[in-house]
Amino acid sequence: MDAQIISLIGIFVSVALYIYLIFAGFNVYVLSVLATAIVGIFSGMDVLKLLMGPFMGAFVGFVKSYFLIFVASAVFGRFISDAGIAFSIGKTIAGAAKRSEKHKILLACLTLPAINAILTYSGVSLFVAVFTLMFIGRDLFKELDIPWHLYGFGIFGSATFTMGMLPGSPQIQNLLPMKYFGTDPMAAPLLGITMAVLNIILGVIYCKYAVNKAIKNNEHYLDLGKGIEDYIASTGAGGQMTDRQVHPLWKCLVPLVTPLIVMNVLKQDPVYALLVATVLTYILFRNEFGNVKKSLNEGTVNAFTPIFSICAAVGFGGAVSVLPGFKMIMAALVAMPGPATLHMVVGIAVAAGITGSASAGTMIGLDTLAKQYAPLMDSAVAHRLAASSGFMSLLPHNGGIFSTVTIIRVKHKDVYRHYFMLGLLIPGIVVLMGVFLAQLGIK
C-alpha cells in the first residue's frame, strides 16, 4: 500500500482514538502525545524525533506568541467575576426573560448565550467564566424547570459569532490571522457582521425548535439536573451566588467595552487593552474585592489550563502537518474547485477537526495555506473568513466541550447534539455563505 495512504489512515485512526479516549476521561496532554506517536508509527517516522521536533516546535511557538494574551484575558475574566459583573448581567437578563409569559422558557434558555456573547466579545476567556455561568444557569433552569441539557445552548454565544465573525474582538481567534494577512482586528466589518446576524438568526431558530421539542416530550430540570444538584449539595455551594449585589447594567458594561475601544479606536495592543480594562474594573468595583492579590494570582493561574490545552492540540497538529498523509489532504484541497477563500476555509476546518481546537486549526491551516493563497485573496476578507472557520473543532474531542460537560455534570450524549448544531453545523453553513458573499464583493 502507498506510504501516503498508510499515513492518511494513521491520521484517521489517531483522531478516532483521540475522541474515544477523551470520552473515557484521559488527559488531553497524554492523548496529544499518544496521537502523535500513532501517526508517526503509521508514517514510518521516528516517534521521538517527531515529538521533539515538529510537536514541541509548534507547542512552544504557540506559547511564545500568545501566552501574554491568555494571561491578560484570564486576569481580566477573574476580575470580571470577582467584581460581580457576570453575575449582575446574568441576573438582569434572566429577570427580563422571566417577565415574558409567552416566550419565558426560550428567553431563559437564551440567557446563557447572551451572557457568553457579551463576555467573550469583550475578551473574557470562556474557561474563566464557566463556573459563574454554571451557577446562574442552574438557578434559572431550576426555578423555571427547564431541562438541564439545554444548558448546551451556551456554546451559541461563545464559540461562534463572537470569536471570529464579529470584527474587533480581542479573542485569540480574531487575532491569529493578523500576522498572516497584515490586517487589524476590524478586518472586513460588513462581511463579519452579516455572517454574525445570519448565525444568530439560524441559532435562535434551532433553539426555539429544541425548546419546543423538550416541552412536547415533557422534559424537566431534574431529568438531567440531579448530577449538578448533588455536586452543589456536596460542596455546600448552593448559596454562593444568591447574596451578591446586582450592579447597574451600564456600570457593568463599561469595563467590557473598554478593551474594544482601546484596541480598535486607540489602536493599542490587545494585551494593553485587556490590562487597562482590568485596572478600570478594579477602580469601578473596588469595594467588591476582598483580596486583590488572590484575584491576580488565581486569575494568572487560570490562563495555564486553556493555553496549554491548546498548545497540546497545536503540537499534535504541527506533527501531523509534516506527514505524507496530511500533504495528501492539502494536495486534494488545492485540486478542489472553487475560489481560494473556499480552499482556505476548508483547510482550516480540516485542521481544526483533526486537532479539536479552533485556535490550533486556524494556526496550522494558515501556516500551511496562507503563503500560497494570500496573493489570491483580499486580505481583509481572508482574515474574517479565517477567523470564522474553526467550526469543525466542535467535534466531541474539543477541549472546551469536554471541560464544560464535566463542570455541569452531564455526559456528551446528553448535550452534544446542541454543540453540533449551534457550534459546528450552523457556523459551517454561515461561513460557506460568507465565502459566497465575499465573491459578491461584500467586505
CB 164 within 8 A of CB 195: no
Nearest Cα to Cα of residue 383 among 186, 198, 196: 186
Nearest Cα to Cα of residue 109 among 223, 207, 206, 219: 207
The dihedrals phi and psi of 338, each to the nearest 5 degrees, come to: 115, 170
pTM of the predicted structure, to 2 decimals: 0.84
The dihedrals phi and psi of 88, each to the nearest 5 degrees, come to: -65, -45
The dihedrals phi and psi of 394, each to the nearest 5 degrees, come to: -80, 35
Contacts for 211 with CB less than 8 Å, ≥ 6 apart? 105, 106, 109, 150
The dihedrals phi and psi of 281, each to the nearest 5 degrees, come to: -60, -45
What are the boundaries of each domain within the chain?
3-439
pLDDT values of the chain reduced to their tens digit, one per residue, 443 residues = 678 888 888 888 988 888 788 777 677 788 889 999 999 999 888 999 999 999 999 889 888 888 888 888 888 888 888 888 888 887 888 788 777 777 888 988 898 888 888 888 888 776 666 666 777 788 888 888 899 999 999 888 877 888 889 999 988 899 999 999 999 999 999 999 999 999 999 999 999 999 999 999 999 998 888 888 887 777 555 544 556 788 898 998 999 999 999 998 998 998 999 999 999 999 999 888 888 888 888 888 877 877 887 788 888 888 888 888 888 887 787 778 889 999 999 999 988 888 778 888 888 889 888 888 889 899 999 999 999 998 888 888 777 777 778 778 888 888 989 999 999 999 999 999 999 999 999 98
The dihedrals phi and psi of 322, each to the nearest 5 degrees, come to: -100, 0
Q: How far is CA 208 from CA 154, 170, 182, 262, 276, in A?
A: 14, 30, 40, 37, 39
